[in-house]
Amino acid sequence: MLSPPAWAVSDLPEPPPFTPRSAVRVLGFGAVVLAFSLGAGEWLLGPAVLARYGATILWIAGASVLLQTLLNTEMARYTLYTGEPVFTAFMRTRPGRAFWGWTYGALHFLQSAWPGWALTAATAVAALFLGRVPDKGDRVVVLYFGYLAFLVSILFVLLDEPVGRTREYAERIMTAMILAFLTLIGLFLVPGDVWLAATRGFVAPLLGSRPLPQEVDWLLLAAFAAYSGAGGANATLTYWLRDKGIGMGATVGYLPAVVGGEQVLVDRGGAVFPLSAENLRKWRGWWKYVRADQWWLWAPGSLVGVGLPALLVLAFIEPGTTLGGYGIAAWMGQALGTRYGLLLWVLALLAGFGTLFTTQIGNAEGFARVSTDLLWTASGTVRAWRGGDARALYYSALLALTLWGCVAITLTDPLTLILIGANVAAGNLVLLSFHTLVVNRRFLPRELRPARWREAGLVLCGLFFGGFVLLSLLQQLGLTRP
């Protein structure tokens, strides 16, 4: 199998001086993915798990976020050096680019093609429309709003050129507002002993608590582990680094905005820099930005994003409650509204809808862009299709997602759709961890390779998510008891 083009050689661009102002300007991926992760694990799966099993299960989220942060930075390491997304690195390994391109493309589809975020967002809209929490008898109403949310999310993706930057800023503002809303609720309405229980939950096994309950729904816990963080979409960090011109990303081409942009053929060859003292100095400057984005912004934000909804669950939801069905996104509105009135009912439902709907938009956009990039790099036949116009592939990927999503949205309840994608995401995290370890050891010069403890962390990351995937699969096959 052919490999992607050989690297060019060029000096590493100069990073901006690291100041608070430049950090705010350069950083951003952590904020974007934080908005996605709020919708993924924190708003739905976290509450579903905590209501059922209690605060001591929060250690899974804490471990997941820390391991994913390490994984993110190690994938970024390759892109800083070559300007290529990490998937291109994977295609440079045996058995070749076609195998890995189609493999990761298929896994990406299996993870992203379930429009659970649109359907869960619809449960919040249906609650506003009905004036109560929807139940199974309101399935048709929820499906109506679910189709509407899903198709509007596709429309937003198609309008990405004129509205993309505005939407990115809006997502940051919305994320900050939701975190502020949850913080205020936590500070003024949640008792101190609940705060203490939630805090202790993140380190519960270290304090002597039983790490897992006696009866475990492994499908739910594997989903919680995967979506407490970037939810398997971690590799999109490397596309963001390339597209924003971080490190050697400034020296290579990338896909333009599809609607309203000119047709630009994309050069898939990366570029590396000579290991001079000057380039190594610049490398340390760029690496400081990546570490700040992940360890100062995304990791703490993700932990706070898990912890704040957890406070409300622990304070207001009866222990042992099973959250699910066609009112899953209305749980917070019901909990607050029944105690404190109409205003908090409405605000909580609007916050739930905003979080989940923007997650669906990000999911659809990420699927189309990553699928286009993956298949373009993997296949010469794909690159030659329609005269080498990448937009045709982009639209085809988005059409496939739309058609399948319109079918999948009717198959089961909202939470189950999310559980399916989340368990595939857990499997993706296993593959990403071990494959990143391989490519960094193989392609990076010794001076830029990670320390041994970081490599051990990647192995631990793969084993952590692999254990959940294995136990979930065995339970679904009836080979283990709950």
Model confidence pLDDT, tens digit, residues 301-311? 888 888 989 99
pLDDT band at 13 (very low <50, low <70, confident <90, very high): very high
Question: For residue 160, is pLDDT > 80?
Answer: no
Q: Dihedral of CA 170/176/179/180: which sign?
A: negative
pLDDT average, residue stretch 29-37: 57
- 74-104 b/e (C-beta count within 10 Å ≥ 16 → b): bbbbbbbbbbbbbbbbbbbbeeebbebbebb
Q: Is the peptide bond before 95 cis (omega within 30 degrees of 0)?
A: yes
End-to-end CA distance of the chain: 44
Residue type, 141: V
* Percent share of the chain, pLDDT over 90: 61
Q: Which residue has the higher pLDDT, 384 or 345?
A: 345
pLDDT average, residue stretch 355-380: 87
DSSP notation for 407-447 = HHTTTS-HHHHHHHHHHHHHHHHHHHHHHHHHHHHHHS-GG
Question: For residue 319, is pLDDT > 70?
Answer: yes
Question: Which pLDDT score, from 0 to 100, does residue 262 have?
Answer: 39
User: How far is it, in rounded angstroms, from Cα 28 to Cα 176?
Assistant: 13
User: How far is it, in rounded angstroms, from Cα 204 to Cα 415?
Assistant: 27
Place of tokens 């595939």: 424
Of 293, 277, 243, 275, the residue nearest 449 (C-alpha)? 275
pLDDT band at 24 (very low <50, low <70, confident <90, very high): low
Q: Which residues contact 353 (CB under 8 A, 6 or more apart)?
A: 121, 124, 125, 329
Question: Which pLDDT score, from 0 to 100, does residue 377 have?
Answer: 86
DSSP 471: H
Question: Which pLDDT score, from 0 to 100, does residue 323 have?
Answer: 87
User: How far is it, in rounded angstroms, from Cα 313 to Cα 424?
Assistant: 26
pLDDT band at 257 (very low <50, low <70, confident <90, very high): very low
- Judged on CB neighbours under 10 Å (0-12, 13-18, 19+), 166 is exposed
Question: Which pLDDT score, from 0 to 100, does residue 297 have?
Answer: 84
Q: Contact 461/68 with Cβ under 8 angstroms?
A: yes
pLDDT band at 35 (very low <50, low <70, confident <90, very high): low
pTM for this predicted structure: 0.92
Backbone angles phi, psi at 467, to 5 degrees: -65, -45
Question: Which pLDDT score, from 0 to 100, does residue 179 have?
Answer: 80
Question: Which pLDDT score, from 0 to 100, does residue 166 have?
Answer: 67
User: How far is it, in rounded angstroms, from Cα 131 to Cα 403?
Assistant: 32
Residue type, 75: M
Residue type, 376: W
Question: Which pLDDT score, from 0 to 100, does residue 1 have?
Answer: 43
pLDDT average, residue stretch 440-460: 97
Q: Which secondary-structure segment (H or E) carries 360?
A: helix 342-378
Model confidence pLDDT, tens digit, residues 199-248? 999 999 999 999 999 889 999 999 999 998 877 788 888 988 888 889 99
User: How far is it, in rounded angstroms, from Cα 455 to Cα 451?
Assistant: 7
Model confidence pLDDT, tens digit, residues 258-267? 444 434 445 4
Question: For residue 167, is pLDDT > 90?
Answer: no
pLDDT average, residue stretch 476-481: 84
DSSP 244: T
Angle, alpha carbons 72-46-368 (nearest 5°)? 50
DSSP 248: G
pLDDT average, residue stretch 161-170: 62
Model confidence pLDDT, tens digit, residues 103-132? 999 999 999 999 999 999 999 999 999 999
Q: Dihedral of CA 326/331/34/156: which sign?
A: positive
Q: What does the CA dihedral 369, 375, 376, 379 come to, rounded to 10 degrees?
A: 180
DSSP 261: S
Q: Which residue has the higher pLDDT, 250 or 280?
A: 280
User: How far is it, in rounded angstroms, from Cα 354 to Cα 360?
Assistant: 10
Of 331, 286, 408, 218, the residue nearest 17 (C-alpha)? 286
Question: Which pLDDT score, from 0 to 100, does residue 260 have?
Answer: 41
262: three-class secondary structure by DSSP? coil
Model confidence pLDDT, tens digit, residues 411-424? 999 999 999 999 99
Q: Which residues contact 28 (CB under 8 A, 6 or more apart)?
A: 168, 172, 240, 244, 293
Model confidence pLDDT, tens digit, residues 292-303? 888 988 898 888
**Whole-number average pLDDT of the chain:** 88
Question: For residue 312, is pLDDT > 80?
Answer: yes
Q: Which residue has the higher pLDDT, 240 or 187?
A: 187
- Token duo for residue 390: 């990448």
Of 362, 367, 426, 464, the residue nearest 34 (C-alpha)? 362
Question: For residue 354, is pLDDT > 90?
Answer: no
Q: Which secondary-structure segment (H or E) carries 329?
A: none
Residues in the chain: 482
Model confidence pLDDT, tens digit, residues 43-78? 788 899 999 999 999 999 999 999 999 999 999 999
pLDDT average, residue stretch 89-102: 94
The number of beta carbons lying within 10 Å of the beta carbon of residue 238 is: 28
9: three-class secondary structure by DSSP? strand
pLDDT average, residue stretch 171-194: 86
